[in-house]
């Protein structure tokens, strides 16, 4: 069964460094998303991406964040200059033609 994949599973970085989180959505899905979950809290929407452009973004998704679909399969989230408060689990998701949203296993980002 197709699934959303994410790499790396865990990323440790120093404050101020750039990180790129990678995702491969399910191939016939059209909408892609990034969400984050700070430890012990609820899952929060960051950004949605459709037809090679951002379709919606939240207040969290400020100028430090960017997304790209550099080729036909990868979907990336870049954080330009990480802060301590960016430490969280980042989930990629994609939506099926039946509007079911499937999540990847997540990347745990730790900023020190």
Taking the complex as a whole, how short is the minimal distance between the CB of residue 88 and another protein, in angstroms? 12
Interactions with another protein, residue window 39-68 (CB under 8 A): 41-45, 48, 50, 55-56
The yes or no reply on residue 91 touching another protein (CB under 8 A) is yes
With a CB cutoff of 8 Å and minimum separation 6, the contacts of 72 are none
Residue 88 parent element (H or E)? strand 88-95
User: Among 38, 40, 20, which residue's Cα sits nearest to residue 85?
Assistant: 38
Taking the complex as a whole, how short is the minimal distance between the CB of residue 62 and another protein, in angstroms? 17
- The two tokens of residue 23 are 């995702």
Contact 38, 88 (CB under 8 A): yes
Report d(CA 83, CA 41) in Å as an integer. Answer: 18
The yes or no reply on residue 35 touching another protein (CB under 8 A) is yes
Single out the segment in contact with another protein by CB under 8 A; choices: 18-26, 59-67, 68-76, 85-93.
85-93
Q: Which residues bind another protein (CB under 8 A)?
A: 31, 33, 35, 41-45, 48, 50, 55-56, 89, 91, 93, 95, 98-106, 108
């Amino acid at each position: 069964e197709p699934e959303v994949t994410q790499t790396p599973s865990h990323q440790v970085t120093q404050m101020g460094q750039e990180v790129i989180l990678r995702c491969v959505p399910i191939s016939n899905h059209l909408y892609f998303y990034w969400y984050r979950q700070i430890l012990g809290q609820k899952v929060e929407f960051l950004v949605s991406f459709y037809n090679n452009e951002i379709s919606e973004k939240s207040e969290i998704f400020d100028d430090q964040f960017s997304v790209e679909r550099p080729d036909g399969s990868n979907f990336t989230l870049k954080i330009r200059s990480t802060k301590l408060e960016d430490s969280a689990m980042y989930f990629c998701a994609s939506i099926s033609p039946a509007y079911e949203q499937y999540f990847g296993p997540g990347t745990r980002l730790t900023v020190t």
